[in-house]
Amino acid sequence: MIPIIWAALRTCAEAAGQQVTAATPRVGVGADRLKRGHRHWISGVSVLEIRYPVMTRKGLQEEVLRVLGQGHRHLFSERSDGIRVVSVDLRTLREDVERSEIGELLAARLLTPFSASGDPDPLRELLVGYGMRLVTEGVSDLLRDFGGMAHRLRFGPEYFVLRKVRALTSIYPPLWRVFWWASTEHYDASALRRVVENLNPALDRAVEDGIVTRDHASGSLRIPVSERALRSGSVAKTTRALAGRLQAFLRAGASGIALPRIVLEEMAEGGWEGLGMRDPESLLTVMTDLGPSRIDDDSDVVDLITRSLRVERSSVRVSRIGKAFNSTYLIEVEVDGDRRTLFLKRYLAWNSVKWVAAKLWAFPLRNFHVSPAMRLSNELFFMDYLREREIPTPRVIHVSWRRKLMVRQAVRGSSAMEVWTSNRSSGSEAEGVARECGRLIARVHREGVVVGDCKADNVVVDESGRLWLVDLEQASLSGDRSWDLAEFVLFACRYLEPATAERFAESFAGGYLELGDEGVVRRALDPKYVLVMMPWSPIWTQMAAIDGLRRALKA
């Protein structure tokens, strides 16, 4: 749709036979200090002028955005001494900055390496307002695209600028005239720095408002960990839809016929055709225990480990672990005679047999995440979120967003399920582990988190007896807490005899009741949970486990 519209506009522009007069580029055009002038609020009198370089078929030329007082509406384009001058009243420009009233066609001029003269106050207000929009929209997009992983991202203010440039030029390609310095063909790092300098007051305000924070170690920006951010997926209202933004360029109204005329002039002037830019996401890094890693890094994990730990590739051994359809690996590394163990997890696509089965059977009770990206970002967020609240979760060593995999600390020990199914533990020791599992899940619930995929296989007892929660890809800040309890005891029934399952359930529920809500345990008795778990666990063993929950409630 958009290419057809621009093709039609190009034809109109060529038919109009617009003449472009060459102008001598001003040397050193940049973010010079604003010269204070007299304040004028009379319609038609210039309040300030912004001069910036544009790319044309004849090379770089200077253009002027002249901002007039707050009288009548004014939008006009003319040539003066060979320089194109676009005049607009302050009110119209402010509305374009705040809510894309004319598709940001003029607001975009504030994202240039400009020099200015006139009253600094309205310019300062416009820059702060537009800069805040860039930050809030950028953070909103990061939360939407990366979910819970967004809080691990690190980026500079350049990311917000280039993200906006890509968005605007994709809707209105002739804006490459003013954004030529961000294109791959004419990239100018010094121009980008000047643009960022103009936005520093807005960035300072965004930090004060808590939209972003500064990482003191690296000097980069990051999104603070926040329950509200994860629940909403946004810190700002989304911007106008693509169709609405496009209509803003072409509609009449307060701006009359002037705006389409400006569009046709810019298209006829040329110089913007075929320009492209680097992906703004290439400026993002993700923080891990090995330090920052580029979000678009596609390195082989073994190569990464050998570089980071400075060992030979022959010192690294990777072995697959787990049962069928699993996607987990153990990485053993020999470092100076010591053996380090890491855990690698690949997040398979939605058609993995494991997740299709879970989705089909558990959908009425629990809406499992099936997207690899969502499960990866979700797990990263909740491992950090719970660890900050002193609930043991593994530390992250490396993340590959492109490959959808994570390398994390390996916890040495046995799962709670292995404790109950092996002969290495006495009955009292096994019951003690189940009770501690109940206390652990109650602590998680008290922090407002539902585990989602809550099984004894996902709780590891380390060599010191400490319990770790190692699988959080289905966790959420809302949901059915009784599901967690029911799944924990009923899924275990596939491994246990009825009498053992009853003791397991009673011990687990007893631990949960020490810190958790009795109502959560009572609701876990609902037969609907037994029905959902029937494909995995025998019905008679599940009924024994239900009896164990009842015994705990009566104790």
Q: What is the DSSP string of 124-189?
A: HHHHHHHHHHHHHHHHHHHHHHHGGGGGGEEB-HHHHHHHHHHHHHHH-GGGGGT-GGGSSSS--H
Domain assignment present for residue 210? The answer is no
User: Does 397 share its domain with 423?
Assistant: no
User: Does 120 share its domain with 243?
Assistant: yes
The span from the CA of 208 to the CA of 219, in Å, is 16
Domain assignment present for residue 397? The answer is yes
The span from the CA of 127 to the CA of 50, in Å, is 12
Contact between 73 and 91 (Cβ < 8 Å): yes
- Range(s) of the domain holding residue 389: 285-409
Q: Coil, helix or strand for 325?
A: coil
| Domain end point (choices 223, 253, 281) | 281
What is the residue-wise DSSP string for 5-44?
Answer: HHHHHHHHHHHHT------PPPTT-S-PPPEE-----STT
Residue-level pLDDT at 226:
62
Domain assignment present for residue 214? The answer is no
Which residues, given as ranges, of the chain have pLDDT below 50?
A: 1-5, 8-9, 11-43, 232-246, 248-256, 324-325, 355, 360, 363
Residue-level pLDDT at 367:
57
User: Does 246 share its domain with 329?
Assistant: no
In tens, the pLDDT along 309-348 reads: 778 888 888 888 765 445 788 888 887 778 888 898 888 7
User: Does 44 share its domain with 98?
Assistant: yes
User: Does 101 share its domain with 247?
Assistant: yes
Residue-level pLDDT at 247:
52
Domain assignment present for residue 204? The answer is no
User: Does 339 share its domain with 429?
Assistant: no
The reported pTM is 0.74
| Domain end point (choices 351, 383, 409) | 409
> In 149-308, at which residue ranges do the beta strands (DSSP E only) sit?
153-154, 213-214, 221-222, 285-288, 291-294
User: Which amino acid is present at 135?
Assistant: V
User: Does 58 share its domain with 9?
Assistant: yes
User: Does 258 share its domain with 301?
Assistant: no
User: Does 380 share its domain with 507?
Assistant: no
Question: CATH no. for residue 513?
Answer: 1.10.510.10
Domain assignment present for residue 202? The answer is no
The span from the CA of 250 to the CA of 547, in Å, is 70
Residue with tokens 């504030």: 110
The span from the CA of 413 to the CA of 434, in Å, is 15
Contact between 301 and 316 (Cβ < 8 Å): no
Task: Using DSSP bridges, classify how beta strands 35-36 and 115-118 pair: parallel, antiparallel or unpaired.
Answer: parallel
For residue 76, what are the contacts with CB-CB under 8 A and spacing of at least 6?
A: 86, 87, 88, 258
User: Does 537 share its domain with 476?
Assistant: yes
Domain assignment present for residue 148? The answer is no
Structure tokens at 463: 């060599």
Residue-level pLDDT at 245:
47
Domain assignment present for residue 531? The answer is yes
| Domain end point (choices 389, 409, 429) | 409
The span from the CA of 486 to the CA of 526, in Å, is 9
Burial class of residue 450 in the structure, from the number of CB atoms within 10 Å of its CB (0-12 exposed, 13-18 middle, 19+ buried)? buried
Count of the separate structural domains present in the chain: 3
User: Does 369 share its domain with 494?
Assistant: no
Contact between 472 and 391 (Cβ < 8 Å): no
Q: Is the dihedral of CA 88, 92, 95, 100 positive or negative?
A: negative
Q: DSSP letter at 83?
A: E
Side-chain-facing half-sphere of 429: CA atoms under 13 Å: 13
Domain assignment present for residue 482? The answer is yes
Angle between helices 157-171 and 189-208 (to 10 degrees): 110
User: Does 38 share its domain with 178?
Assistant: yes
Compute CA distances 430 → 114, 352, 427, 433, 537, whole Å. 71, 33, 5, 5, 20
